[in-house]
Structure 1
Amino acid sequence: MIWHLIAAIFAGLGAAGIGMLLRLLSGKRLPRWIVPVFGGLGMLGYQINVEYSWYEHKRQLLPDTAQVVQVEHDAMFWRPWTYLFPMATAFSVVDEQSMAVQEQDGERRVEFLLYHFEKQVQDRVTHQAWLMNCTTRETLPLEGEARRPRTEDIRRLAEDAPLYLAVCGQA
């Protein structure tokens, strides 16, 4: 976090230097306020770049066995440009290393971990164990260390759902 602050300050200083250079090259015909405006725009541009590249940066850090199954884009009123270009604020990942396949009663069931990454002041990562019946496309969360099924939260996925394809297409 401190490194982003330092980088934003240096981006602002660099952009302010460009504003000062333009003012000098124009023979000081450009107004003096151009220097702090360029500095502010440099800092804002750096911050926007960091926010929009967050998802790609985190995705590149994932192992090759991880597959992104959902990306959440959001718009925020304090970032008005996100209404035109929504920003990725969270995504969910399934790692095939965490999958355990069971054949039972002619049905294939896969137990897996679903990781959820959220962009906040400090990035947040949570995980939840799930059980999916590949034959019926039903999935439900598993609770605690005993991995007890929470049957009230059962849901059926579509055949083309990325989560279903990632879990049952690989298993």
Structure 2
Amino acid sequence: MIWHLIAAIFAALAAAGIGLILRNLSRNRLPKWIVPVFAGLGMLGYQIHVEYSWFEHKQQQLPESSVVVSSATGTEVWRPWTFVFPITTQFSVVDSDNIITRDIEGDQVVEFILYQFIRRHTDFVSTQPYLLNCESRELVPLSNEAGEAQLSELRHLRETSTLLATVCGNADT
């Protein structure tokens, strides 16, 4: 986070320098307030760039075997540009190398870990192990401590679910 602050300060200084150069090229016909306005625009531009490139940056840091199965965009009032161009605020990933396939009573059952990345003032990553029956499309989370199925949170996935296609499609290979 300190590096973002330092980068924002340098972006402000660079933009203020551009404003100062424009003021000098115009032989001081441009008003003095153009320099701090350019500095503010430089900081704002840097912050917008970081927010919109967060998703791609995080994807590049993941291993080759990671597959993004869902992402969510959001809008915020204090960032009015997000109403025109929504920003990716979270996404979920499955590591295809860590999928365990079992055949239980003729049904293909897959155990995997779903990683969820959430953008906040600091990045937040949560992990949750799951058990998925590929034939019935039943998804049930496993408790992190004992690995027991939490049947009260059982849900059914749609046939077109990216998670189902990723996890069960990978299990076939």
TM range (shorter): over 0.9
Whole-angstrom CA distance in 2 between matches of 1:156 and 1:170: 19
Measured against aligned partners, the alpha-carbon deviations of 1:94-127 in whole angstroms (never above 9, x if no partner) come to 0112211001111100010000111112211110
Structure 1 residue 160 displacement after superposition? 1.3
Verify: 1:155 aligned to 2:167, yes or no.
no
Deviates more, 1:108-117 or 1:154-163: 154-163
> What aligned pairs does 1:27-106 form with structure 2 within 5 A after superposition?
27-106=27-106
Whole-angstrom CA distance in 1 between matches of 2:144 and 2:116: 17
Structure 1 residue 146 displacement after superposition? 2.3
Q: What residue is the counterpart of 2:25 in the other structure?
A: 25
Tell me the TM-score normalized by structure 1. Answer: 0.98
Between the aligned residues of both structures, percent identity stands at: 54
> What aligned pairs does 1:68-147 form with structure 2 within 5 A after superposition?
68-147=68-147
Tell me the TM-score normalized by structure 2. Answer: 0.96
Measured against aligned partners, the alpha-carbon deviations of 1:6-42 in whole angstroms (never above 9, x if no partner) come to 1100100100110011111111111111110001000
Measured against aligned partners, the alpha-carbon deviations of 1:69-90 in whole angstroms (never above 9, x if no partner) come to 1101010111111111111111
Counterpart of 1:131, as a letter, is: L
Whole-angstrom CA distance in 2 between matches of 1:29 and 1:61: 48
Structure 1 residue 147 displacement after superposition? 1.1
**Alignment length (residue pairs):** 171
Structure 1 residue 144 displacement after superposition? 3.1
Counterpart of 1:77, as a letter, is: V
Whole-angstrom CA distance in 1 between matches of 2:78 and 2:120: 15
Q: Provide runs of 4+ in structure 1 moved above 6 Å.
A: none
Say whether the 8 Å CA contact 2:128–2:144 is kept in structure 1.
no
Q: What residue is the counterpart of 2:9 in the other structure?
A: 9
SS of the residue corresponding to residue 142 of structure 2 reads strand
Q: Root-mean-square deviation (CA), in Å?
A: 0.8
Whole-angstrom CA distance in 1 between matches of 2:35 and 2:65: 48
Name structure 1 gaps, 5 residues minimum: none
